[in-house]
Every structure is written in structure tokens, then in C-alpha cells.
């Protein structure tokens, strides 16, 4: 056996390139420990350990980020779950009240044991004050329970549980306002129907079972009703039975839709419908059962009894399922953004971009000193490539340094750009069908404002007035009116905070602005120049971007420490913080309604977030790195379903 | 630049970076650039270090593929020519320069249009730069920045020839402006060395004097190579007043 250090020592020696080579050679001939050999071995091992340690640490940091992200997600899910459970309870209660009222009206008796009972989730004693015409005595409760057990067993055998989950997820989907694919909904409901129907056909004398199965079928039908808004025709039990027999063939879509349209519309009153639309399978079952005519009233009550028992189970036991359904459905049915257009014509990093308010037109600003205008309707289709190439329509040349930021007016008439040399240019936006090789029109450049003495890193445009804010490395934030003769209105500086890094108008309070300094965010009043709120924070990372919510008193900040943070403008309290990316978050954009947030990061990815739930809805890897920079800007189209990202690789991409 | 520092250096321009600090990060050795944009990074880094050291700028790192090297340099030239175009916009008007000319011998026609047109000099400049930007970024001709198709190489020469006319127009018609620009960027000097080094243009076409070490004075007769038959971006010339057209590419 050879001492491993020989090999190692030899390699290290030659790599080091010092005079240790001979030592290694000597050892080869004489397999002995030697000082240089051992030293090399130790050195080598040490270097290897260091390297491994570094990679472990890297991995650890990544995993920690992942954990934090997942924890945030879990919290959101839990909130949603609690909300749903609470609403289920509320509806249960309302339903019971309603049923009691109905009962009272119909039979003049007061179902005292039911009325006013708080909505708890325990199985309540079955209603006994059923219709006078009903031939079922009180004692039938026991046999009914037995029947229920049997039925359950049976249903389980035929895969009822799977069906119920399908139906339930369908419900959650409609609850979330996501469009359920019709085909699937039909199949699910069809499946549950045919499966539930079979026992009825085979064992017709088990009345309770039949009624439960009927009730469930009713529910499934009403779910279809709710989904498709076919509110016509009456309930025809016989027809339905026939149908159900036919429905043994699950794939028979035509029959299903026929059945669907026949539905039970008149029984499903507005309230029931609401319940159906909003709530869980069992809640819905209960409702539809309760609203039956007297023929159904008894079994309806029974179904109700069952459902309460099961509801308790479901709400407690299946929380996890439910949450999973929510996530899965969201994954499956949400709009997914796909990269469609690649805008290539810049020679260097694209720093900023802005969409036209109505046209499918955008303008990009780059470190190659130019701005370019693109019309997404004028594409050159690249062969065998799904994405389309767009050629620029117009190149704005005036800046003599990298263009750092860009905003477009809400009328789409003007665009403002600022560059590293401190100049801010106001441009007229050329016609979006301009000939790219038209003759030069110097009037495109409206004016140049060069009061800033250093690089301008941020611009923000007032949504109504033509006021412009800029923040610069010269330590000032300036307010401009680009249309007036002397455009500079005011200058703000805060020597204690240093250089402002980002700025935005507060949208719900337009006389305020939010300014980010290295690790502070402050809201100022533009008229009094007074500080309104300073966001409370200890040790937050440098702020790269600040955006204010279009309607809420909410500000979102992007940080170098990979976080996105949400702040309440009135109190200055942090509402939420999340690790959003694997590297510094550089850019943010809120959609015009403030429901979705877009973030770009130097980790090369763009993420879409739900502002309310703070969940990440989609991640897109979009650009390649140049040095350690990857994505500089992201944007939403103000009125069309486009989003865009600007990359350090000189490309801009538009997603649809 | 030592190994240990590289780990912690993040080469990024954060918001708030002063103009003077822009891209002022420690240089990165070429071997450590793992980006697909390494060549661009390297060229820009070398220019930033000293724009007047043309030899250093034009010396490719070992193992660098020459075609990509030429391509990336040409991108950089077109990008920096924006600076000259911006200056020309303020001085070169259609009223004064209604044709793209350098010396009196040639009038250059702008090929950005369906049929080549006698654009005023400023339009010619802008159109040529826009056309070059489209061509050099074209997914059809240059789909990758790490390898260049053999068939697209011919485009580099024609781009060079066209953009050089911007230098020559500025030199012969806007001398002060040209000298200003050249003093800070050394761009024409670098461009001349570049096309000479890689034989992208004929020496006779390089009419701006004193741009090359040991450069000839303004050549007595300007010659023009035959235009490459590209459909979109060919600049044709009007009949020469004197001299005869020769193919003189080395």
C-alpha cells in the first residue's frame, strides 16, 4: 500500500510550480513519509476542506432562503384555511336559521332544538320534526344510521372518496374564481353521478341510502348548475334516474350536458346558489337537500345530518388536503406567462423599460446610451423559434452616457429618460407606425434638464399632473414640471441619509413621495417638504427600488439582501418581509390594479407574486449575467396583458 | 485580483452609484469570466482601463476565438459611435450636409431603404447605425455570441466599411467635433487599427489621415471595394470623379 500523500504531494508540487517537484519524484521511488510529502498532503487536504466548507456554506445559505420562502408560503396557506373554516361555520349557521324559518312557515311548528344553536362542528341530533306526511318514525334514526354506515362502506368501495375529493377541489377552484375547464368539471360530476347512482339502482329499497345518494347527485348537479349558469327546466326524478343509468358510461359528454341543462334550477334559489358557489361539498349538499320540496324534506334532513358529521371530519381532518388542492389548482389554472417577444438591438445592458399606456409599444433604455422604441405588432418571426423577434422602430439618441431609467407619461405622448451623466431628457413619443428609416426629426427631443450634477438612478411620474421626480447620486431628489418654462420646482436633500437610491410618488396620496436611501425609506410631503413617516426597520438591506401601491396605502421595496418588504404608509410599520430571490432584488412593478407584483433580480429570474397572499405564482428565468448583473427592470403593460423584463445581456423580453 | 478576493467582489452598479464610480470594480481575469458575455466584458474592461492603449484593447486573450473577438469589437465600435452621432446631431444638418460625403469624390447612398437613397449625412449616420444594430443583433445572422457562423462573417466587413464613413464624414466636414470626440475616445484610431489588423477593410478606403502608426496621408485616389451583395444594407456609391475602382483587400 502506498502512502496517499505521495500522489497528492506530487500534484501539489507541480501545481505550485516551486522547487518541490524533485521531492515528489524522490518519494515515488522510495515509498516513505517525508516532510515535503506530508506538508503537501496537509496543504492539499486543507485547501480541499476549505473549498468544501465554502460550498457547504453556500448551500446552507440557499437552503435557508428556501426555508424562509416556504415558511412564508405556509403562513399564507394557513390564513386561507382559517378563513375558509370560519366562513363554513358562518354559512352553516345561516343555513340552519333559514331551514328553521322555512320549517316554521310551512308547518307552523318551531323546530326549537335547532333554532339558535351556535354553529359548532359536532354532529347534531337529527331533526325529528319532519313532515307530518312522512312515514318515518323517530325510532328510524337508529336504522337510518346503520344504513348510513353501510352506504358509506359501499361508497368507499366504489371509490366515493376519490370522487368527493375531485368535487371538492372543483369547488375550491370556483371559490377562487378560477375558470374551471368545462370538460373536467363535467367529467368529474359525471363520474360522481354514475358512481353514486349505481348503488341506488341495485338496492332500491334502502330508502335512506337512496336519498343520500340522490342528495349527493343533486349536489353534483347543482355544482354544474352553478358553474354553467343553466337555470332552466325542473327536477324530474324519473328522467334523472334514466339518465343516471345511461351515465354509466362516464365519457358520454353529450348526455351529461343534456342532463346538466335540465337541472334543478327552480330549487336552487339565490342563497343556495351562493352557498354552492362558495362552499365545500358538504355545505352544498346540505343546502340543496334542505331546499327540496316536501317530497325531499325528510331525506334532506337526513342528508343534513350526515353532512354535519362528515363536515366536522372534513374540516378537521382534511385541512391539509384542502390546502394542497388550493395550491395545485392555482398552479394548474392560473394564467402562465410565456416569453413571446425578444427585443434584440441594444449593444449593452438594458437598464429600464416602459410600456405605452394603450398600444402594444414599449421603449427600452440601455447602457449603450440609446433608447429604442418597439412595436410588438411589427415582428419578424424567427424560424423554428417560438419567440418572435421585434426590430426597433426608433432610436432615441441624445444621451452621452448610459441611460439609467425611463418613465412614460400616462397619455403615452412623452417619455422621460435620465442618464449616468445627470441629464434628464424629455422626448416626444414618435408615432408607433413610424418608418424606422425616416429622416431625423430633432423635435423628438423636447427638452433636456441638467440640474443634477451626478448620475440619476430613479424617475417617477405623477399619474395626473405632469410632475416628475428624480433621484440622483448627487444626493438630491428633484421635483420637475417638464412642461413649464423653468422645469425645476423643488430640490430635496437629506444629508443624514445620504444618497437616495429610488423614488416614487405615493399613489393614494399624490402630494407625498417615498424616497429610499441606502437602508431607509422615508415619505415626504412635497409641499411642506416635511417628513411624514419614516419606515421603521432595523438592519434592512440597501433598497434598490421602491414602488407605491396604486390604490392602497402600501409601499413595496426591493432589497439587496434578497428581500421584498411591504410597508404601511400611514404607520410606517413593516407588514411583511420575504426572501424573494436568490440574489439582490433589483426591480419591482405592480400591475395597474395592484393585485400582482413583478420582481426582477440579479439571480436571472423574474417572479410574479400575488400581492394579497404574498405567494409566488410564477418564476421565469429570463436573462444571462454580465459581470454580476442580470435583470435591471421589469414592467407591466398598463392596459394589455404584457409584462417585460430588461436584462444585462442587452435583451429585453416581453411575456404574454 | 488575487484568487481570494474574487469570491467577495460583486461587480455591480447599485442604484446610487456615482457617475465616476460606475463600473469601477476590480478587474476580473478573463479566465474567471464564466459568462457568455465574457468577451464583451473583457473588451469593455480593457477600454475602461485605458482607452488610448489600442494595442492592449485589440490583443485578444489567449484561446479566444478570433471570429467572436472581431464580432464583439465591432459591436463595441457601433455602440461607441453613438457618441459621435449624438455630437453630429447638434452640428450636422440636412441644410448644410445634404449628402453623405467625405472627400469630394464619392457620394454615398443610404441602403437602409428599398432603393438606395441620397440621404442627408445625419440621416445616413443614424440609419447606418440603426441598420448595423439590427444586423449585428439579428437572430438570423448572429444567433449566438459565443460562436459566429461562417456565412455571417462577410457581414462584418460590410458593416465596417459603412460605419467608417461616419468617421470620414465627421473628419472632413466637422473637424473640430471629430477632434473632440477622438481626443476622449480614440475611437477612430482604434477602429483603423482594428480593421487593418483583421483585414476587414482595404487600406485605400481608410481615408482619415494619421490614424494608424505610420499611416499614409490622405490617399490620392479613393477606392472602393465592390459592395457585398446583401439585400438589406448595402451602400452603393455614385460614379467616381477620378480614379478607378479596384479590389484591393489584402
Average pLDDT score, chain A? 72
| A455 close to B (CB below 8 A) | yes
Q: Which of A87, A99, A269, A248 is nearest to A171 (CA)?
A: A87
CA B18 to chain centre: 28
As given in the structure block, the three cell numbers for residue A354 are 416602459
| pLDDT tens string A430-458 | 888 888 888 888 888 888 998 899 999 99
Highest-confidence segment of A44-58, A196-210, A289-303: A44-58
Could you write out the three-class secondary structure of A87-155?
Answer: HHHHHHHHHHHHHHHHHHHHHCCCCCCCCCCCCCCCCCCCCCCCCCCCCCCCCHHHHHHHHHHHHHHHH
Read off the pTM.
0.60
β-pair partners for A342: A389, A653
Q: Does B174 touch chain A (CB under 8 A)?
A: no
CB-CB contact of A363 with A340 (8 Å): no
Length of chain A in terms of residues written: 656
What distances in angstroms separate CA A207 from CA A141, A200, A306, A318, A337, one per listed residue? 13, 9, 15, 29, 52
Give yes or no for a contact between A270 and A226, defined as CB atoms under 8 angstroms apart.
no
* Nearest beta carbon to residue B14 from set A389, A400, A542: A542
Question: Touching check for A439 and chain B: CB below 8 Å?
Answer: yes
The pLDDT confidence band at residue A202, using thresholds 50, 70 and 90, is: very low
Residues of A with Cβ-Cβ distance to B19 under 8 angstroms? 401, 420-422, 454-455, 473
Nearest beta carbon to residue B16 from set A370, A518, A626: A518
pLDDT (average), residues A288-297: 41
DSSP, residue by residue, A357-405: SSSSEEEEEETTSEEEEEEEEEEEEPTT-SSEEEEEEEEEE--SS-EEE
Contact A627 B35 (CB under 8 A): yes
The predicted model gives A18-41 an average pLDDT of: 64
pLDDT at A564 > cutoff 80: yes
Question: In A487-540, which ranges are continuous DSSP H helix?
Answer: none
| ipTM confidence score | 0.81
> What residue in A sits closest to B44 (Cα-Cα)?
A348
Report which of residues A314 and B171 the model is more confident about. B171
Q: What is the pLDDT of residues A111-123, one digit of tens each?
A: 554 444 444 444 4
Segment holding A479, helix H or strand E = strand A476-480
- pLDDT value at position A353? 92
Q: Name residue A491's beta-bridge partners.
A: A478
- Four-residue CA torsion sign, A319, A322, A324, A326: negative
Mutation site for B-interface testing, chosen from A627, A652, A653 by largest number of B Cβ within 10 Å: A627
Q: For residue A169, count other CB atoms closer than 10 A to its CB.
A: 21
Partner-chain contact B123 A440, CB within 8 Å: yes
Pick from B19, B86, B133: which is nearest to A454 by CB? B19
Question: Chain B partners of A519 at a C-beta cutoff of 8 Å?
Answer: none
pLDDT at position A160 over 60: no
Q: Per the CB < 8 Å rule, is A370 touching B17?
A: no
Winning range, highest mean pLDDT, from A77-86, A169-178, A586-595, B40-49: A77-86
Quick check: A429 and A413 in contact, CB under 8 A?
A: yes
Q: Are B26 and B1 in contact (CB under 8 A)?
A: yes
What whole-number distance in Å separates Cα of residue A419 and Cα of residue A367? 9
**A398:B89 CB<8 A:** yes
- In angstroms, the separation between the Cα of residue B91 and the nearest Cα of chain A is 11
Locate the chain A residue with the closest alpha carbon to B128.
A437
Taking residue A323's Cβ as centre, other Cβ atoms within 10 Å add up to: 18
Which residues in chain A have their CB less than 8 angstroms from residue B25's CB? 627
Q: What is the mean pLDDT of residues A247-262?
A: 41
* Grid cell digits, residue A418: 435620465
- Does residue B74 belong to the interface with chain A, where contact is any CB pair within 8 Å? no
Number of domains in chain B: 1
Q: Which helix (H) or strand (E) holds A619?
A: strand A616-621
Say if CB B207 and CB B103 are below 8 A apart: yes
Dihedral of the alpha carbons of A39, A40, A41, A47, in degrees to the nearest 10: 110
Mutate to test the interface with A, among B3, B15, B121 (most CBs of A within 10 A): B15
Strand, coil or helix: A351: strand
Residue-level pLDDT at A175: 54
Residue corresponding to grid cell 429600464: A352
Number of Cα atoms under 13 Å in the Cβ half of residue A261 = 5
Alpha-carbon distances, residue B44 vs A637, B50, B59, B134, B181 (angstroms): 33, 10, 13, 21, 18
Among the listed residues A315, A295, A214, the one whose alpha carbon sits nearest the alpha carbon of residue A222: A214
Measure in Å the smallest separation between the Cα of B109 and chain A Cα atoms.
Answer: 13
Please give, rounded to a whole number of angstroms, the shortest distance from the CA of A470 to a CA of chain B.
12
The minimal CB distance from B120 to the residues A439, A544, A545 is found for A439
A591 and A621 Cβ atoms separated by less than 8 Å: no
Nearest-Cα residue of chain A relative to residue B7: A54
Residue A77: pLDDT band (50, 70, 90) is very high
pLDDT value, residue A174: 58
Q: CB of B140 within 8 Å of any CB in chain A?
A: yes
A347–B contact, CB cutoff 8 A? yes
Do B123 and A560 count as a contact with CB atoms less than 8 A apart?
no
**What are phi and psi for residue A466, nearest 5 degrees?**
-90, 50
Query: Which of A395, A473, A560 faces B17 most closely, judged by CB atoms?
Result: A473
CA distance A299 to A283: 16
The neighbour count for residue B144, using CB atoms within 10 Å, is: 11
In this structure, what CATH number is given to the domain that contains residue B35? 1.20.140.30
Q: What is the pLDDT of residue A271?
A: 47
Contact A604, A622 (CB under 8 A): yes
What are the pLDDT digits (tens) for A306-320? 344 444 444 333 444
Measured between alpha carbons, how far is A398 from B86 in angstroms, rounded to an integer?
Answer: 5
Write the CA distances from A191 to A17, A157, A160, A282, A513, integer angstroms: 75, 15, 10, 17, 57
SS3 A628: coil
User: Among the residues of A179-280, which ranges form H helices?
Assistant: 182-202, 207-228, 237-246, 253-262, 270-278
Among A112-121, A595-604, B92-101, the range scoring the smallest mean pLDDT is: A112-121
Question: Within the 101-130 window of chain B, which residues sit less than 8 Å (CB to CB) from chain A?
Answer: 110, 112-113, 119-120, 122-123, 126-127, 129-130
How much is the pLDDT for A296?
43
- Pick from A344, A545, A625: which is nearest to B35 by CB? A625
B78 interfaces chain A, CB cutoff of 8 Å: yes
Interface touch A397/B35, C-beta < 8 Å:
no
Cα separation, B201 vs B214, in Å, equals 17
The three-state secondary structure class of A582 is coil
Under 8 Å CB pairs connecting chains A and B tally to: 130
Residue B113: count of CB within 10 angstroms of its CB = 12
| pLDDT confidence of residue A156 | 66
Closest CA to B16 of A270, A292, A542: A542
Single out the residue of A320, A309, A259 nearest to residue A286, CA to CA: A309
For chain B, the residue count is 250
Nearest chain A Cα to B21, which residue?
Answer: A455
Return d(Cα A533, Cα A568) in angstroms, integer.
10
Chain B interface includes A501 (CB < 8 A): yes
**pLDDT score recorded for residue A439:** 83
Domain region containing B49: 3-248
Amino acid at each position: 500500500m502506498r502512502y496517499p500523500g505521495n500522489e497528492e504531494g506530487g500534484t501539489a508540487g507541480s501545481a505550485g510550480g516551486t522547487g518541490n517537484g524533485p521531492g515528489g519524484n524522490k518519494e515515488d521511488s522510495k515509498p516513505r513519509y517525508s516532510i515535503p510529502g506530508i506538508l503537501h498532503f496537509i496543504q492539499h487536504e486543507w485547501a480541499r476542506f476549505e473549498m468544501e466548507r465554502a460550498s457547504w456554506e453556500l448551500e446552507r445559505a440557499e437552503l435557508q432562503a428556501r426555508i424562509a420562502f416556504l415558511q412564508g408560503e405556509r403562513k399564507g396557506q394557513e390564513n386561507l384555511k382559517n378563513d375558509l373554516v370560519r366562513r363554513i361555520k358562518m354559512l352553516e349557521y345561516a343555513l340552519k336559521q333559514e331551514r328553521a324559518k322555512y320549517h316554521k312557515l310551512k308547518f307552523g311548528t318551531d323546530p326549537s332544538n335547532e333554532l339558535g344553536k351556535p354553529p359548532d362542528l359536532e354532529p347534531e341530533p337529527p331533526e325529528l320534526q319532519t313532515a307530518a306526511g312522512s312515514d318515518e318514525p323517530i325510532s328510524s334514526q337508529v336504522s337510518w344510521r346503520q344504513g348510513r354506515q353501510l352506504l358509506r362502506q359501499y361508497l368507499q368501495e366504489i371509490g366515493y372518496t376519490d370522487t368527493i375529493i375531485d368535487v371538492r377541489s372543483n369547488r375550491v377552484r370556483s371559490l377562487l374564481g378560477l375558470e374551471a375547464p368545462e370538460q373536467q368539471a363535467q367529467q368529474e360530476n359525471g363520474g360522481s353521478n354514475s358512481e353514486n347512482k349505481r348503488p341506488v339502482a341495485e338496492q332500491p329499497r334502502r330508502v335512506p341510502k337512496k336519498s343520500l345518494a340522490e342528495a349527493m347527485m343533486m349536489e353534483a348537479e347543482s355544482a354544474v348548475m352553478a358553474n354553467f349558469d343553466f337555470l332552466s327546466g325542473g327536477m324530474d326524478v324519473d328522467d334523472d334516474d334514466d339518465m343516471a343509468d345511461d351515465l354509466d358510461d362516464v365519457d358520454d359528454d353529450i348526455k351529461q350536458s343534456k342532463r346538466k341543462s335540465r337541472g334543478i334550477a327552480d330549487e336552487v334559489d339565490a342563497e343556495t346558489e351562493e352557498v354552492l358557489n362558495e362552499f365545500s361539498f358538504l355545505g352544498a349538499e346540505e343546502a340543496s337537500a334542505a331546499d327540496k320540496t316536501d317530497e325531499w324534506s325528510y331525506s334532506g334532513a337526513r342528508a343534513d345530518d350526515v353532512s354535519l358529521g362528515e363536515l366536522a371530519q372534513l374540516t378537521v381532518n382534511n385541512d391539509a388536503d384542502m390546502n394542497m388542492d388550493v395550491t395545485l389548482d392555482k398552479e394548474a389554472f392560473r394564467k402562465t406567462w410565456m416569453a413571446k417577444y425578444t427585443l434584440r438591438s441594444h449593444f449593452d445592458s438594458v437598464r429600464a423599460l416602459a410600456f405605452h399606456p394603450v398600444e402594444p409599444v414599449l421603449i427600452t433604455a440601455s447602457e449603450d446610451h440609446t433608447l429604442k422604441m418597439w412595436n410588438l405588432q411589427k415582428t419578424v418571426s424567427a424560424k423554428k423559434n417560438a419567440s418572435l423577434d421585434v426590430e426597433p422602430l426608433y432610436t432615441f439618441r441624445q444621451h452621452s452616457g448610459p441611460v439609467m431609467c425611463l418613465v412614460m407619461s400616462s397619455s403615452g405622448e412623452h417619455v422621460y429618460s435620465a442618464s449616468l451623466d445627470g441629464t434628464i431628457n424629455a422626448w416626444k413619443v414618435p408615432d408607433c407606425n413610424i418608418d424606422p428609416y425616416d429622416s431625423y426629426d430633432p423635435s423628438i427631443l423636447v427638452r433636456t434638464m441638467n440640474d443634477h450634477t451626478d448620475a440619476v438612478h430613479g424617475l417617477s411620474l405623477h399619474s395626473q399632473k405632469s410632475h416628475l421626480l428624480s433621484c440622483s447620486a448627487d444626493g438630491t431628489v428633484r421635483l420637475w414640471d417638464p412642461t413649464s418654462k423653468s422645469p425645476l420646482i423643488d430640490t430635496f436633500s437629506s444629508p443624514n441619509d445620504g444618497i437616495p437610491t429610488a423614488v416614487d410618488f405615493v399613489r393614494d396620496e399624490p402630494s407625498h413621495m417615498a424616497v429610499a436611501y441606502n437602508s431607509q425609506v422615508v415619505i415626504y410631503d412635497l409641499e411642506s417638504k416635511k417628513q411624514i413617516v419614516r419606515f421603521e426597520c432595523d438592519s434592512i438591506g440597501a433598497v434598490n427600488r421602491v414602488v407605491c401601491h396604486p390604490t392602497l396605502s402600501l409601499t413595496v421595496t426591493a432589497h439587496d439582501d434578497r428581500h421584498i418588504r411591504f410597508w404601511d404608509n400611514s404607520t410606517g410599520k413593516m407588514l411583511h418581509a420575504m426572501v424573494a430571490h436568490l440574489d439582490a432584488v433589483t426591480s419591482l412593478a405592480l400591475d395597474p390594479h395592484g393585485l400582482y407584483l413583478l420582481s426582477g433580480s440579479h439571480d436571472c429570474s423574474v417572479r410574479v407574486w400575488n400581492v394579497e397572499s404574498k405567494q409566488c405564482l410564477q418564476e421565469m428565468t429570463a436573462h444571462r449575467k454580465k459581470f454580476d448583473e442580470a435583470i435591471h427592470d421589469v414592467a407591466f403593460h398598463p392596459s394589455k396583458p404584457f409584462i417585460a423584463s430588461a436584462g444585462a445581456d442587452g435583451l429585453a423580453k416581453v411575456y404574454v | 485580483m488575487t484568487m481570494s478576493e474574487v469570491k467577495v467582489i460583486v461587480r455591480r452598479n447599485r442604484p446610487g452609484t456615482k457617475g465616476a464610480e460606475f463600473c469601477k470594480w476590480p478587474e476580473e481575469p478573463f479566465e474567471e469570466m464564466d459568462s457568455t458575455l465574457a468577451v464583451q466584458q473583457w473588451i469593455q474592461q480593457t477600454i475602461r482601463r485605458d482607452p488610448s492603449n489600442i494595442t492592449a484593447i485589440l490583443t485578444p486573450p489567449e484561446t479566444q476565438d478570433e471570429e467572436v473577438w472581431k464580432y464583439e469589437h465591432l459591436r463595441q465600435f457601433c455602440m461607441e459611435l453613438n457618441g459621435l452621432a449624438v455630437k453630429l446631431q447638434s452640428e450636422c444638418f440636412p441644410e448644410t450636409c445634404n449628402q453623405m460625403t467625405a472627400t469630394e469624390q464619392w457620394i454615398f447612398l443610404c441602403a437602409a431603404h428599398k432603393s438606395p437613397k441620397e440621404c442627408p449625412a445625419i440621416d445616413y449616420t443614424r440609419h447606418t447605425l440603426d441598420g448595423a444594430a439590427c444586423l449585428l443583433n439579428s437572430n438570423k445572422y448572429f444567433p449566438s455570441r459565443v460562436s459566429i457562423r461562417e456565412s455571417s462573417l462577410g457581414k462584418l466587413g460590410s458593416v465596417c466599411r459603412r460605419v467608417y464613413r461616419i468617421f470620414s464624414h465627421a473628419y472632413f466636414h466637422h473637424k473640430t467635433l471629430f477632434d473632440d470626440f477622438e481626443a476622449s475616445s480614440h475611437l477612430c484610431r482604434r477602429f483603423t487599427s482594428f480593421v487593418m489588423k483583421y483585414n476587414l477593410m482595404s487600406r485605400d478606403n481608410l481615408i482619415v489621415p494619421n490614424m494608424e502608426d505610420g499611416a499614409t496621408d490622405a490617399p490620392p485616389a479613393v477606392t472602393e471595394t465592390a459592395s457585398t451583395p446583401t439585400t438589406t444594407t448595402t451602400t452603393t456609391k455614385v460614379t467616381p470623379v477620378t480614379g478607378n475602382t479596384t479590389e484591393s483587400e489584402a
